[in-house]
């Protein structure tokens, strides 16, 4: 339901800004949301890092440098003295060489397999967290939009009230001149006008604050805002249906459940420290002047071997890690329960606010109509002396308050409808059918998950 005539659009260029176009701009350019998307892309790289555990590893080692040697060799005994004789050689060589090492894990206790699954669960949790940020931005954007509309309407109402009270003061002074009213009536009219101007300045300040919040979330100044519309047609038929949907679809619950999966896989990763490891290693080496630094010597070697490592006892740290991981599983499950309870309470609360706003609109419309009728009657009675100036001013203030309350209720209905949609986990650009290119986090993940090498990101950085 679009807001009624009290929430008039802001003056500005002919091009109209709607609530959905503003939300589309926030979806595409809000820094907080873009930062959350970047965080998911960062998390995507955990998958290829985990896959590296079963990929071959290769490296080349090279060395070179001068070496001085002074060698003394026994050469028998002197026939005359019987003392041992020695042969001394002195030379400077340049030992140098290269070694190629290759390693391929055959079995690592399923550490890599479980690490990959754990990385994927963490990625899915990060995506759900990103959805939470998207919901918050869209809800805050709708709130900021409606706040600008509300405060614009309130400011205009208070501005119009100043004009009405100025006319009322003029009429009161004219009647005072002819002796129909007293100086007290004039003072009352003057006081009401002064109070109205003070309220107008406060409304101006509030509008500036709302415009600043709008600029922060949407990314542009509000111009020619059109009346906002509730998203009640997108809501489930009942509160119970909403709760059931929220317990399954809300990003907070989804993220918590993926965190439980990641914690359970962390236990298996920790348990792999107790499993045997089997790998195949190969080495090719070519060395020059390497034998005691003697110039001209050369050594070539090649080695291939299987290596089996069976852990027996490593100080007990691995057992502590397993116990710790199991406790973290329990913590993650409790967090999932907490998220479900929080989501359920949010759905009930937001539905209550929506119903209250809808009821307030009905009563507010009746109040405005009654206040208009009362003001017209008081003014007519005041003309024949049956009502005082204070009665007219009070009736005028009552009408103003009724109109302001109606504006606030209309704003609250739209904001509450977005809050309900967010509480069940369906506040998204796709659900709102925003005119934007939807961000798909799976695209980046598919681009990097099996990448073997390269330092450039998929977007070329």
The answer to whether 273 and 318 have CB atoms below 8 angstroms apart is yes
CB 394 within 8 A of CB 381: no
User: What is the mean predicted confidence (pLDDT) over 66-75?
Assistant: 77
- b/e map 279-302, b = 16+ CB within 10 Å: beeeeebebbbbeebeeeeeeeee
Residue 87 to residue 461: CA distance in whole angstroms:
65
**pLDDT, tens digit, 9 for 90 and up, residues 184-240:** 988 988 998 999 999 999 999 999 999 999 999 999 999 889 999 999 999 999 999
**Hey, what domains does the chain have and what are their CATH numbers?**
19-55+109-274+336-448 (1.20.1600.10)
**Can you give the pLDDT at residue 10?**
46
* Pairing state between β 277-288 and 298-309: antiparallel
Residues near 277 by Cβ (< 8 Å), separated by ≥ 6? 105, 107, 108, 109, 308, 309
Q: What are 410-442's pLDDT values in tens digits?
A: 999 999 999 999 999 999 999 999 999 999 999
Distance CA 444, CA 449 (A): 8
Question: pTM, whole model, 2 decimals?
Answer: 0.84
User: Around 244, how many Cα atoms within 13 Å sit in the side-chain half-sphere?
Assistant: 6
- pLDDT top residue among 325 and 389: 325
Q: Is 219 left (phi over 0), alpha (psi -120 to 50) or beta?
A: left
- Mean pLDDT over 386-398 rounds to 85
pLDDT, tens digit (0-9, with 9 covering 90-100), for 256-288? 999 999 999 999 999 999 999 999 999 999 888
Burial zone of 19 (CB within 10 Å; 0-12 exposed, 13-18 middle, 19+ buried) = buried
More confident residue, 43 or 96: 43
**pLDDT, tens digit, 9 for 90 and up, residues 233-257:** 999 999 999 999 999 999 999 999 9
| Closest by CA position to 330, among listed 269, 260, 257 | 260
Beta strands in 139-263 (DSSP E): none
Backbone angles phi, psi at 458, to 5 degrees: -55, -25
CA-based nearest residue to 427, from 267, 249, 268:
249
Q: How far apart, in whole angstroms, are the C-alpha atoms of residue 390 and residue 382? A: 10
Whether the predicted pLDDT of 4 surpasses 60: no
| Mean pLDDT, rounded, for 296-308 | 87
Q: CA angle, corner 45, sides to 40 and 49, nearest 5?
A: 150
């Amino acid at each position: 339901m679009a807001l009624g005539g009290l929430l008039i659009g802001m003056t500005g260029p002919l091009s109209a800004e709607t609530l959905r176009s503003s939300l589309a701009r926030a979806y595409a350019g809000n820094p907080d949301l873009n930062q959350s998307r970047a965080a998911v892309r960062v998390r995507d790289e955990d998958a290829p890092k985990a896959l590296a555990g079963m990929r071959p590893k290769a490296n080349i080692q090279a060395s070179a440098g001068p070496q001085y040697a002074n060698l003394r060799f026994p050469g028998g005994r002197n026939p005359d003295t019987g003392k041992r004789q020695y042969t001394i050689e002195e030379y400077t060589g340049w030992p140098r060489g290269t070694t190629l090492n290759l390693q391929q894990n055959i079995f690592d206790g399923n550490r890599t397999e479980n690490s990959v699954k754990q990385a994927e669960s963490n990625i899915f949790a990060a995506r759900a967290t990103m959805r939470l940020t998207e919901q918050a931005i869209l809800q805050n954007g709708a709130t900021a939009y409606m706040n600008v509309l509300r405060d614009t309407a309130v400011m205009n109402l208070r501005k119009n009230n100043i004009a009405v009270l100025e006319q009322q003061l003029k009429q009161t002074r004219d009647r005072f001149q002819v002796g129909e009213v007293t100086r007290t009536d004039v003072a009352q009219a003057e006081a009401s006008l002064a109070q109205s101007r003070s309220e107008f300045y406060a409304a101006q300040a509030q509008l500036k604050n709302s415009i600043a919040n709008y600029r922060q979330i949407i990314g542009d100044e509000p111009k020619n805002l059109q009346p906002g519309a509730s998203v009640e047609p997108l809501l489930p038929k009942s509160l119970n249906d909403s709760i059931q949907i929220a317990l399954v679809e809300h990003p907070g619950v989804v993220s918590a459940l993926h965190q439980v999966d990641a914690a359970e896989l962390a236990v298996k990763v920790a348990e792999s420290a107790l499993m045997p490891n089997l790998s195949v290693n190969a080495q090719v080496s070519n060395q020059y002047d390497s034998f005691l630094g003697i110039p001209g010597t050369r050594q070539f070697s090649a080695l291939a071997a299987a290596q089996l490592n069976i852990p027996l006892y490593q100080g007990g740290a691995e057992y502590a890690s397993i116990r710790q991981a199991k406790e973290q599983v329990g913590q993650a499950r409790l967090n999932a329960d907490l998220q479900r309870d929080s989501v359920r309470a949010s759905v009930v609360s937001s539905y209550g606010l929506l119903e209250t706003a809808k009821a307030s609109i009905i009563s507010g419309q009746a109040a405005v109509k009654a206040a208009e009728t009362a003001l017209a009657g008081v003014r007519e009675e005041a003309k024949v002396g049956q009502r005082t100036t204070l009665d007219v001013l009070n009736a005028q203030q009552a009408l103003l308050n009724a109109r302001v309350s109606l504006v606030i209720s209309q704003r609250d209905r739209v904001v509450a409808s977005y809050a309900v949609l967010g509480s069940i986990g369906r506040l998204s650009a796709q659900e709102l059918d925003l005119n934007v290119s939807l961000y798909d986090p799976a695209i980046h993940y598919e681009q990097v998950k099996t990448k073997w090498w390269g330092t450039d990101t998929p977007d070329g950085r």
